[in-house]
Each structure stands twice: as structure tokens, then as C-alpha cells.
Chain A
Amino acid sequence: MSILVDKDTKLVISGLTGREGTFHGLNNLNYGTQVVAGVTPGKGGQKVESIPVFNTAHDAVAETGANTSMIFVPPRFAADAILEAADAGIALVICITEGIPAHDMMRVYVHLKRGDTRLVGPNCPGILSPGKANVGIIPAHFFSEGNVGLVSRSGTLTYQIGNEIAQQGFGNSTIVGIGGDPIVGSSFIDVISKFETDPETELIVMCGEIGGDEEERTADYIAERVTKPVIAYIAGFTAPPGKTMGHAGAIVSGTSGTAAAKAEALEAKGVKVGKTPTEVSDLAVKTLRG
């Protein structure tokens, strides 16, 4: 098992014909993901290697039965592409695009909450279920099938921690990048609740960072609802207040959103917090080996 993406994922990619879209779309296809369609208005009827391109998400769904969408279009078109995918009946939309205006995401978020479409991202590296499907830009060659569920606000930091765990012989059920923006479609809680019910996942690793209060709320949720062990990492202890640290959502506002507060909240609820990526990996491996 795994969560969110697997062998049944039928992927349609908005922006498949762009340079990055083609590169990563074909990477996903070569990994074994069922990439069934692309959407680029005006390029319907063309193909990217074997993948047919449609003018609208609705055409793509009607013709191919796509159930998952990946958004790879520039920021100013991304909100529209997410809404189009949802309107076409896609159940899961994964948005890689970085730099979408916050007001756009606020409207998209409120609209999607009233329907059945789940959004992951934006500003995320995507989702990888090793051996089953790769949707996004996560470099799959570091990861193998296994029982560690990994969820993170950051891309490379996830690879760093995931790779340290992999080098000690453990694989992953699924790796989910939830994104570094102030408003993202799925929270730590949304993803951890899925890991909790996934039979393959035995241990959950979450990588948080400064900004917002997601980690604090996740700590409460873990204490109340999660039976599997959770190991956490928080980045940004040295970040000064008021400065955006790369990710639009990574900012300490006044005294709220600090790394120290997040680590304390998690530890107070019994979640082990590693001080370095290596310590997180060591804690995870120790727990797995019992």
C-alpha cells in the first residue's frame, strides 16, 4: 500500500508541453507512472512522445479517464489550471508551481473545500510512492519501497533526510511534499491521517519549518489520533523575524511561527524531534529496529 498515488494513478499534466513539464512528465512516465494525458490550450491533438495532449482538462478526463492532475504551468495561470482540473472531476490535484499569488490560493482553497477534490501543494516537489508511481520532481533513484511515510514542507531537505534513512537500509511507503507556501491544499494533518490508516506505513517522519502554526496543530492531532511513531524535524532556528527564508510561507511573524515553539509543541506531545537531519534519521532507524 501507499497513499495518494499508486499503480491506479492515471495522470494528466497541465503544462506538459513546456520545457520543465516535458522533462519531468517523461521522467514520471519512465518511472512507471501511468501518464495518460497532457493539457495545453491550443495544442490539442499533438503528442509528447506517446502522451496525447488535449485543449481542456475536461477533454482529457473524458478521453483517458485521468483521475490525478499535476500542475506545471507558470504562476499566473496556476490557479485557473487547478480550478479547471477540479471542475473536470479530478480527485487529486498536485501543484508543483512556485510563486502563485496568495489571494489566488485563498480563493482556490475555499472553493475546493466545498467539493471533493484534494489539492497537494502548491510550491511542492510532488508525491512519490516508490515502486508504484512518481508524480512531480522528487528524484526517485534515492528511494525504495518500504515502511517509512515521509511528509515535508521542503524538497531538498526531504531528499537529505530520506536519503540518510535509505542508506541505513529503509525504504518509504510514500513521500509527500506538501509545499512551502502560506496556503497549501493539504496539511501535515491531512497526510499523517492517511499514513495512520495505511497498513504499509510503520513510522512517520515529518519535516516542518518556520511560519504559521501547522506544526503546533499537528502536535495536538498526533497526541489525540495517531498510534504510529512520529519523528519530526523543524528547520529555521536561526531565522530572524520578519524575513522570508526562501519559501513564501517560511517567515517568523513577530514572535509567532518560530522553530523553537514548534519543536517544543511537538515534544510536549511526545513526538521525538531530531536536532539535525542525521539525528532524525538515527531516531527513525532506532525506532524501526525496536
Chain B
Amino acid sequence: MDLLEYQGKQLFAKHGVPVPDGKPARTVEEAVAAGEEIGYPVVVKAQVLIGGRGKAGGIKLAKDRAEVEQHAEAILGMDIRGFTVFELWIEQASDIAEEYYAAILLDRSAKLPMAMLSRMGGMDVEAIAEKDPNAIVRVHIDPLIGFQDFHGRRLAFEAGIAEDVIRPVGALLAKLYETWIAEDASLVEVNPLLITGSREVVALDAKVTIDGNALYRHPETAELRQPGGEDEQEQMAAERGLTYVKLDGNIGILGNGAGLVMSTLDVVAQAGGEPANFLDAGGGSKAEAIVDAVEVILSNPKVTAVLFNIFGGITRCDEVANGLVTAFGQIDVKVPFVVRLDGTNDEQGRTILAEAALDGVHVEKTMLGAAAKVVELAG
């Protein structure tokens, strides 16, 4: 789960990571009130889950009340690379002496937490790596011991940051690690990590991702919702407990098991088709789940044909077939379906479909045959 900048900063503040004073605002009036309370100059920042806000005109400095009003008016409702701005963060302006980069993340390769520091902040980490791979220092942390002072010193000295801020930057990194652990984050990134003219160390931005599997331990975070942050079909699928990812094409896909569904998308693409979605109906797909899944897939208006690719292990093909018959009884289906049933009870499943003789349903025996057929029918 990705958090908005200000939601991340609120978690930072809770764990003692220094952040500038600020307030969220959803209307121009709230933005003006926030500006008046914080004191000028302030920065009006669009809150969206996508980078490049500054370049898109979503971050503006305001010297007075009139400018806050003008910028808030312009930024609220703005589209930033496909994301609509519903919220602003009004923040005390900071004077910038130096910009560093800091992050804590889970290094999948080493299976350990990793802290990163660079003195070249303000640009994204890939850009830093491209400019000078040695400018990013990485240190692994033993999670059974935690972040030690020496980790902070190593990072700071090796990154070559200004000597007078080595101790406070180390202290900030320790607090950042504390945030990462306490909040079950998979990523906390501060870019830029700011050194002000008066040599204070401040997190000027916050990019925080929380592990969705750990949200039961963080009910307050789980309740944070980003309006407009989710796709309509993805939201609908989440409410029904289905694993769904929206894609750009026109062929709706359903399968059982994440690996098989990914493989199905690939095979459809190889046959010249464009998948509209990833949908895993799960290891033990029951009839109700099939009905839900068909509704979600067909609610995407781009879908012109649907492929069901089932390999029955625990999932029984006769249950999937019954689910499809039920779904066709409840939903007005206007696009062709290609159904491939293989594995446990596949013959019973195919018999059920043959007897039901559903309009526009084509049964195929193999995965490749089914992919070719659905591409042909999708047009």
C-alpha cells in the first residue's frame, strides 16, 4: 500500500523523523486557512501517488494568502500523469543548502533490510545511479540486532556528506529505520533529505510503502484511503476478495493460480492478442467466486472476448463449469467466451458446459488452442 507524501510524513513525525510543519487541505478554503496558520512563505504540494509532481506544476511556492488561493485553485483537480489531485499539503517553506537522498528498503536478494544514503539528492535514485554509481552507499542491517550507530556513521562517512551534519544525519537514519520496522514498511524513501541554511536536517519528501500483508497490525494505516487512487475494476475486485490487475487490452482473462494466469497473459500476447486484465480466481475457485469474477471482468467496457484458463488441481473443473452456467444465468453476457478446462474433473466440466449450451461459449482442450481462439474472436 503506497502512502501519500503527507501520510508518510505523519508517520515520520510519529517516530521522531524531523519534517517541516504542514497541514493537509481538500479545498481552497482549507488551503488558505492552513497557510494563515503556518505563516508565509508556504509550499502548496499536490498529493498524488506518482512522481514528477514538480515538473507537472503540482508544487508551487506561495508568498501570501492570494498566492495560496491561486495555486490551490490551479492544482486541485489537476491531472498529473493520469492521477487527479484531490488533496494538497500546505507546508512551511524550507531554505535549501544541500539535498541528500536516504532510503530504507527490503533487499530481496540479500533478504535483509538495506539502508541507502547519497549526497546527490533531489533527482531520482536511478538518475543518481546513472550519473555516478559510487554516489549511493548501501549498508545491510541485521534485523535481529537493528540499526546501530556505526551503520549511520558508515553511511554518512562513505557517502561523503558535509562533516558538520554527520551525527544528525546518522540519527535521522536510525529514526527512519525505526519507522520502517514499526510500520511494517517495504520502503521508506526521503528525497530530498534536506540540510537547511541553519544546518538543520529535515525530511522534505516522504515516499512510504506499507506491506499489505501486515496491515492487520496497523488498523489506522489500513483506513487511509486515497480518493481516485484506485481503478474502478480493481476496487470492485478488491471488495469481492479477488486478485485483479487492470491492463490495457481487450481480452478478459480468468485463471486459477498466479503463475498460470501470468502464463496465460503471455500466451495470449504471443498469439497476437492484448490482455485486458490479470485475474486469479484462486486455488479452490468456487461457483460464487466465478460469478463475481465474470462481473468484474465484464464491467471493463474495453473487453470484447473472455478467456477462462483453468487447470484443476484443488479447483474442480465441474465447479468452475457450474459457476460459469450460474453466471450466464445472472448476467447478460454480450461477448464470446473461450473456456479451457483441464485437470481434476475436466470431463465432467466439459459435459456440464456442453449440456448447458451457453450462447457464445467455446470450449477448447489446450491452453494454446484456447489462446488462439480467443484472439480470433476478440477481433
CB-based contact B278/A246 at 8 Å: yes
Interface residues on B, range: 35 or more
Q: With a 10 A CB-CB cut-off, give which of A104, A154, A157, A275 has the most chain B CB atoms.
A: A157
How many whole Å from B140's CB to the nearest CB in chain A? Answer: 10
Contacts of B259 in A (CB 8 A): 152-158, 180, 207, 209, 235, 246-247
**B104-124 interface bits toward A, Cβ cutoff 8 Å, 1 = contact, 0 = none:** 001011011100000000000
CB-based contact A163/B342 at 8 Å: yes
Contacts of A250 in B (CB 8 A): 258, 262
Q: A102-B214, A139-B313, A156-B257 are in contact. Are A110 and B265 (CB under 8 A)?
A: no
Does A137 reach chain B (CB closer than 8 Å)?
A: yes
CB-based contact A154/B106 at 8 Å: no
CB-based contact B211/A101 at 8 Å: yes
CB-based contact B270/A276 at 8 Å: yes
CB-based contact A101/B111 at 8 Å: no
Interface residues on A, range: 35 or more
Contact pick for A101, options B144, B214, B245, B280, CB 8 Å: B214
Does A165 reach chain B (CB closer than 8 Å)?
A: no
Does A191 reach chain B (CB closer than 8 Å)?
A: no
CB-based contact B311/A278 at 8 Å: no
Does B263 reach chain A (CB closer than 8 Å)?
A: yes
Does B283 reach chain A (CB closer than 8 Å)?
A: yes
Contacts of A248 in B (CB 8 A): 212-213
Does A44 reach chain B (CB closer than 8 Å)?
A: no
Does B374 reach chain A (CB closer than 8 Å)?
A: no
CB-based contact A103/B265 at 8 Å: no
Determine the residue in chain A with the shortest Cβ distance to B253: A238
* CA distance in complex: A235, B314 (Å): 21
Contacts of A76 in B (CB 8 A): 216
Contact pick for A182, options B106, B256, B269, B278, CB 8 Å: B106
**A65-92 interface bits toward B, Cβ cutoff 8 Å, 1 = contact, 0 = none:** 0000000000110000000000000000
* CA distance in complex: A185, B275 (Å): 33
CB-based contact A236/B262 at 8 Å: yes
Does A277 reach chain B (CB closer than 8 Å)?
A: yes
CB-based contact A155/B111 at 8 Å: no
CB-based contact A110/B112 at 8 Å: yes
A-side binding surface: helix, strand, loop or mixed? loop
Determine the residue in chain B with the shortest Cβ distance to A111: B144
CB-based contact B247/A137 at 8 Å: no
Does A243 reach chain B (CB closer than 8 Å)?
A: yes
Determine the residue in chain A with the shortest Cβ distance to B268: A238
**B198-241 interface bits toward A, Cβ cutoff 8 Å, 1 = contact, 0 = none:** 00000000000001111011000000000000000000000000
Does B149 reach chain A (CB closer than 8 Å)?
A: no
Does A116 reach chain B (CB closer than 8 Å)?
A: no
Q: With a 10 A CB-CB cut-off, give which of B112, B216, B257 has the most chain A CB atoms.
A: B257
Contacts of B258 in A (CB 8 A): 154, 180, 209, 245-247, 250
Contacts of B106 in A (CB 8 A): 102, 106, 182-183
CB-based contact A210/B256 at 8 Å: no
* CA distance in complex: A180, B259 (Å): 9
Contacts of A245 in B (CB 8 A): 245, 258, 261-262, 278
Contacts of B245 in A (CB 8 A): 240, 243-245
* CA distance in complex: A162, B20 (Å): 57
Contacts of B128 in A (CB 8 A): none
CB-based contact B211/A103 at 8 Å: yes
CB-based contact A109/B111 at 8 Å: yes
**B325-367 interface bits toward A, Cβ cutoff 8 Å, 1 = contact, 0 = none:** 0000000000000000011100000000000000000000011
CB-based contact A106/B113 at 8 Å: yes
Does B143 reach chain A (CB closer than 8 Å)?
A: yes
Task: Enumerate the 9 nearest inter-chain pairs by beta-carbon distance, A residue then B residue, closest first.
Answer: A154-B259, A246-B258, A156-B257, A157-B259, A101-B214, A235-B262, A156-B260, A139-B313, A238-B265
A-B CB contact pairs (8 Å), 20 listed: A76-B216, A101-B184, A103-B211, A109-B111, A110-B142, A141-B344, A155-B313, A156-B260, A163-B311, A163-B343, A183-B111, A217-B109, A236-B262, A238-B262, A239-B262, A244-B245, A245-B278, A247-B258, A259-B266, A276-B270
Residues of chain A touching chain B, judged by Cβ–Cβ distance below 8 Å, are 75-76, 99-104, 106-107, 109-111, 125, 137-139, 141-142, 152-160, 163, 180, 182-183, 207, 209-213, 217, 233, 235-240, 243-250, 254-255, 259, 275-278
